[in-house]
Structure 1
Amino acid sequence: MLSGTVHPKRPTPAWWSRTSFAGRLPQSDRDALLRLGGRQEFPHNHRLLRQGEPGRHLLLLTSGRARVVVDDVRSIALRSSGDLLGELSYLDERPRSASVIAVGTVVARRITATAFDHFLRDHPTAIRPFAQVLADRLRAADKRTVAASHDVTTRVAATLCELAAADGDRLTVNVTQRELAQLVGASQVSVHRALRRLARDGLLDTRHGSVVIRDEVALAQVAEEDRNCIT
């Protein structure tokens, strides 16, 4: 059973990424979504979902970030405000395919499968945004498969582009070098070297706990993307 403290306070929509499920919804649908379940707060490193466990409930992340982790070792994605967690088990009724771990304090709403069924039934305009989220995650999985054959610098650039887009197209990406190394699938030393190379070329600056993108077009070219990182 998921632990956490229940509070009545509602989150501020401005915090949410526009590419998240909540961020894609019309205001009326978003308001209805926020009436589902109850608000729960979790501390840093709390395991919100556990790989291999049964369960069809979803979590709507309303504040903070969380890591998606496979086999308790490899981080494959970061989720931020407005994202849904646990959508695959909701759909196929199979055990969780990955764990989700809080990065700092996280606030989420726990939504039962039945409640989400009713939400989609009563708000059909939310079905397409839900499908778009699933499509985005499938594309991200495909990119990870292709990126495995790329050098570390290319993978770092691609991951920063993805995080910037997921965080509302912001030039400042809040990610530590340790988190970035886990997402890229490389050592911190290798990621540090790649960041230094990209910084030397004027594409970005590194700060404590974040990366500032200076040239999103050039960074996308390094990432072998067919578009800008941000637009």
Structure 2
Amino acid sequence: MPKPTQPSSLGLRSVLLLRGLSPQRLDDISRQCAWRRFEAGQTLIAREQGDRDLHMIVAGAVRVTSYSPGGRETSFRELQAGTSFGEMAAIDGRPRSADVIALRPGLLASLSPANFRTLLQQEWTVNERVLLQLTELARGLIDRVVDLSTLSVQQRVCLELVRLAQGAGGAGNEVRIAPAPKHADLAHLVSSYREQVTRELSALAKAGVLARQDGALVVRDLDRLKHMASRQVAH
């Protein structure tokens, strides 16, 4: 179980949902929260469990994922410090729809459904941010369904690498992704198997599109990678 810790409004200042609230308001919210430390690899939320709290990540990082009856994992998104999860169950009271696994040690501030709904009623800026966050989530899941339904494994791997490269920043047609993503993690993101992902990455390396360098994955030709993600692949 996560270890309890003392409330502190300092940690809440970096939480996006609460940004701009007064120090006094943050103090009030911090006293309403349950504060818990967690370790890497720990399951913070299990699908269908009774927890309904809103969880704010004060430190650390987590992965939102789901497992098929056969044990195959599909990852939906990774969340960093300053973000939150659990809004849907806190609002509608229904069971969790996914598992949340800690990627790095960190700290959670958890708000009960009743306190969360009161916050939404009293603070329009928080309410608006939750609406925008849920809208973004819905759009992302629609895109994900379309990708899984219409793209080959090769295209999905290329598309995920494009997303990682764009997130890494940098200018020009060569982008460094550090650290290099693990093959198993990529497989979870594209709803495939590690062996398939390994084959696709090897093919991209042979084609001169990718290279490994000092623990990083270097995209040597981002334009070509984008083209491969969008083109029709013969089967």
TM-score by length of 2: 0.73
Q: Does 1:29 align with 2:30?
A: no
Distance 1:73 1:104, change over 3 A: farther
- Aligned AA for 1:57? D
- 2:164·2:177 contact (CA, 8 Å) conserved in 1? no
Residue 85 of structure 1 aligns with which residue? 85
Trace 1:191-206 onto structure 2 (pairs within 5 A).
191-200=197-206, 203-206=209-212
Distance 1:218 1:76, change over 3 A: same
Measure, in 1, the Cα distance between the counterparts of 2:211 and 2:98: 32
Measure, in 2, the Cα distance between the counterparts of 1:7 and 1:208: 40
Which protein has the larger Cα radius of gyration, Structure 1 or Structure 2? 2
Point out where structure 2 has 5 or more consecutive residues left out of the alignment: 171-175
Question: Greater CA deviation, 192-201 or 30-39?
Answer: 30-39
Measure, in 2, the Cα distance between the counterparts of 1:182 and 1:151: 15
Measure, in 2, the Cα distance between the counterparts of 1:93 and 1:201: 50
- Aligned AA for 1:179? D
Measure, in 2, the Cα distance between the counterparts of 1:54 and 1:117: 18
> Residue by residue, what CA displacement relative to the aligned partner does 1:183-203 show, whole Å, maximum 9, x if unpaired?
111121221232334445565
Distance 1:135 1:153, change over 3 A: same
Q: Does 1:151 align with 2:143?
A: no
1:83 Cα deviation (Å)? 2.3
Residue 109 of structure 2 aligns with which residue? 109
1:181 Cα deviation (Å)? 0.9
1:38 Cα deviation (Å)? 4.2
Identity level (%): 24
Q: The residue matched to 2:20 in structure 1 has which SS?
A: helix
Measure, in 2, the Cα distance between the counterparts of 1:96 and 1:204: 38
Name which of 133, 158, 172 aligns with 2:177. Answer: 172
- 2:90·2:116 contact (CA, 8 Å) conserved in 1? no
- 1:152·1:186 contact (CA, 8 Å) conserved in 2? yes
Measure, in 1, the Cα distance between the counterparts of 2:11 and 2:215: 24
Measure, in 1, the Cα distance between the counterparts of 2:99 and 2:79: 12
Measure, in 2, the Cα distance between the counterparts of 1:58 and 1:168: 29
- 2:56·2:84 contact (CA, 8 Å) conserved in 1? yes
1:215 Cα deviation (Å)? 5.3
- Aligned AA for 1:63? A
1:129 Cα deviation (Å)? 2.1
Measure, in 2, the Cα distance between the counterparts of 1:26 and 1:38: 16
- 2:91·2:117 contact (CA, 8 Å) conserved in 1? no
Question: Greater CA deviation, 150-159 or 215-224?
Answer: 215-224
Distance 1:39 1:216, change over 3 A: farther
How many residues matched? 215
Distance 1:95 1:209, change over 3 A: farther
TM-score by length of 1: 0.74
Point out where structure 1 has 5 or more consecutive residues left out of the alignment: 17-21, 226-231
- Aligned AA for 1:123? E
Instruction: Provide the alpha-carbon RMSD of the alignment.
Output: 3.4
Measure, in 1, the Cα distance between the counterparts of 2:151 and 2:217: 21
- Aligned AA for 2:140? A
